Amino acid sequence: MIALDEWQERARQWLASLEVEFGRDARAGLSQDEDLAVGRRYMAAKYAAGFSGITIPTEFGGQGLTPLHKVVFDTLEAAAAMPMGYFGVSTAMPLPLLIRYCQDKAWARERVVAALKGEEIWCQLFSEPAAGSDLAGLRTRAEQGDAGWTINGQKLWTTFAQYADYGIMIARSDPAVPKHKGLTFFWVDMKAPGVTVRPFRLANGDIQCNEVFFDDVAVADSQRFGEVGAGFRVAMETLMIERYAASDADGFGPSLAAFIELMRGLDLGGRPLLKDGRVRSAIARNHALRTGLDAIRRRAMLAMEAGMEPGPEGALNKLFSVRSRQKLSELALDLQGAAGLSYTEGGYTKADWGSSWMGAPTMRQAGGADEMLLNTIAEKILGLPQDHRPDKGVPFNAIPA
């Protein structure tokens, strides 16, 4: 297996060689559809160079390397501003589930390779209008018949569903049992009859989230992941992965080094801001927090490398990294004065403070809202008693709607 330092240098050189064609400056001014086309070319080049599917087993078209190899590459790739956003969900959450649960392994390998090459895109259909972070409260129905399943309902906040070929989803298959037990997990064809996708614009101008409607959508039983009624457990596997994949220690905002560099050129009352005690205190707090999150993430990667499942500590990573991003971005804008009011639509969130601040509230909802993450930390990490839940143990169809 290739050593981490050798892998890092190889990745750095390869990314540098593609910056002119695929980097942030090369994509400035492109429409979203044009940028997606560039992203597909980048994904194909990445696959050909052996940097795709880093932790995916070789028999499924991946590299069979460790999570630490993936962290090293992902960090360099994000810093290089490569067009990965359209494929982040697609290559992170669905592929491990395909490998583990798909009954047709040859078909699963085809889908994995196509996703890694950027030829196909997957989305994740979890949130609903009446059940956001309370995943077990969803109302999309899956009814079983002789020919398979029929799905009816609505999903919301589905990232890049407008481009997706396939999706993973959870639906209610038995409303007569408590809400966590009557759920079943499926993959679905996003081009199937009865699937309607409606994109909408976010506060920062991005068009990446969607409403998705299912009207009598036929799904074969072979499209089921896991046992009937065990969908919540499969979904938790997905969310554990997402809470490590959905955020780095910077919360996918600008780095602390970028904040320090910005401060070098600013002063307050003729005195450099880097000499202001309040600014230095903010830098120190963020450094301590982000270093701690890096340690938690690295520990999780080592655990996964040893064959263990990702744990609830991912809630810490997701919660505090995005909070840190939001507060630091707000401070960066405030300290720039009137110049901080300038806004570049479509700005890269890891380099643009305005885009980072505008997009942070969305990130605080994605993958579980703050309140749900705090509950996870309290119950699963600190061992505190659960909040009172009046619907616990009650059949779903007996819960007042």
Q: Indicate which CATH number applies to the domain containing 54.
A: 1.10.540.10
Q: Based on the domain organization, do 157 and 216 belong to the same domain?
A: yes
At residue 268, the pLDDT reads: 87
Q: Compute the Cα dihedral for 106, 89, 310, 51 and give only its sign.
A: positive
At residue 218, the pLDDT reads: 98
Structural domain of 352 = 247-365
- In the predicted model, what is the mean pLDDT of residues 306-312? 73
Can you read off the two tokens belonging to residue 169? 């989803």
Q: Based on the domain organization, do 144 and 231 belong to the same domain?
A: yes
How many CA atoms are closer than 13 Å to the CA of 306, on its beta-carbon side?
A: 8
Q: Is residue 384 in some structural domain?
A: no
Q: Based on the domain organization, do 94 and 131 belong to the same domain?
A: no
Q: Which residue has the higher pLDDT, 347 or 174?
A: 174
How many CA atoms are closer than 13 Å to the CA of 238, on its beta-carbon side?
A: 32
Can you read off the two tokens belonging to residue 14? 């390869």
Q: In this predicted model, what pLDDT tens digit does every residue of 73-95 receive, in sequence order? A: 988 998 888 999 899 999 988 99
Q: Is residue 392 in some structural domain?
A: no
Q: Based on the domain organization, do 70 and 154 belong to the same domain?
A: no
Q: Based on the domain organization, do 272 and 348 belong to the same domain?
A: yes
**What DSSP state is assigned to residue 26?**
G
- In the predicted model, what is the mean pLDDT of residues 343-355? 85
Q: In this predicted model, what pLDDT tens digit does every residue of 186-220 receive, in sequence order? A: 999 999 999 999 999 988 788 999 999 999 999 99
Q: Based on the domain organization, do 25 and 111 belong to the same domain?
A: yes
All residues at 6 or more sequence positions from 48 whose CB lies less than 8 Å from its CB, including other chains: none
Find how far residue 165's CA is from the centre of its chain.
Answer: 18
At residue 242, the pLDDT reads: 58
Residue after which a domain boundary falls, among 236, 266, 292: 236
> How large is the C-alpha radius of gyration of the chain?
22
Q: In this predicted model, what pLDDT tens digit does every residue of 113-156 receive, in sequence order? A: 999 999 999 999 999 998 867 889 999 999 999 999 999 999 99
pLDDT category, 236, cuts 50, 70, 90? confident
Q: Which residue has the higher pLDDT, 173 or 244?
A: 173
Q: Is residue 143 in some structural domain?
A: yes
Q: Which DSSP helix (H) or strand (E) runs through 353?
A: helix 353-363
At residue 107, the pLDDT reads: 96
Residue after which a domain boundary falls, among 120, 135, 155: 120
Residue after which a domain boundary falls, among 120, 151, 173: 120
Q: Based on the domain organization, do 101 and 176 belong to the same domain?
A: no
Whether 274 has a pLDDT exceeding 70, the answer reads yes
At residue 269, the pLDDT reads: 86
> How far is Cα 284 from Cα 202, in angstroms, rounded to an integer?
32
Q: Percent of the chain at pLDDT above 70?
A: 97
Q: Is residue 377 in some structural domain?
A: no
Q: Is residue 147 in some structural domain?
A: yes
> How many domains in the chain?
3
At residue 189, the pLDDT reads: 98
Q: Is residue 398 in some structural domain?
A: no
Q: Percent of the chain at pLDDT above 90?
A: 66
Q: Based on the domain organization, do 155 and 214 belong to the same domain?
A: yes
User: Which DSSP string corresponds to 250-290?
Assistant: TTTS--HHHHHHHHHT-EETTEEGGG-HHHHHHHHHHHHHH
Phi/psi region, residue 148 (left: phi>0; alpha: psi -120 to 50; beta: rest), is left
Q: Which residue has the higher pLDDT, 92 or 164?
A: 164
Phi/psi at 147 (nearest 5 deg)?
-95, 5
Q: Based on the domain organization, do 14 and 115 belong to the same domain?
A: yes
Q: Is residue 376 in some structural domain?
A: no
> How far is Cα 148 from Cα 256, in angstroms, rounded to an integer?
52
Q: Which residue has the higher pLDDT, 223 or 204?
A: 223
Q: Which DSSP helix (H) or strand (E) runs through 211?
A: strand 209-219
Q: Based on the domain organization, do 257 and 298 belong to the same domain?
A: yes
Instruction: Write down the mean pLDDT value for the chain.
Output: 91
At residue 245, the pLDDT reads: 55
Whether 246 has a pLDDT exceeding 60, the answer reads no
Q: Domain holding 329: CATH number?
A: 1.20.140.10
Q: Based on the domain organization, do 229 and 267 belong to the same domain?
A: no
> How far is Cα 375 from Cα 136, in angstroms, rounded to an integer?
15
Q: Domain holding 148: CATH number?
A: 2.40.110.10
Whether 96 has a pLDDT exceeding 80, the answer reads yes
Pairing of strands 183-189, 224-225: antiparallel
Q: Based on the domain organization, do 253 and 332 belong to the same domain?
A: yes
Q: Is residue 22 in some structural domain?
A: yes
- Sole residue written with tokens 């499942």: 309
At residue 126, the pLDDT reads: 93
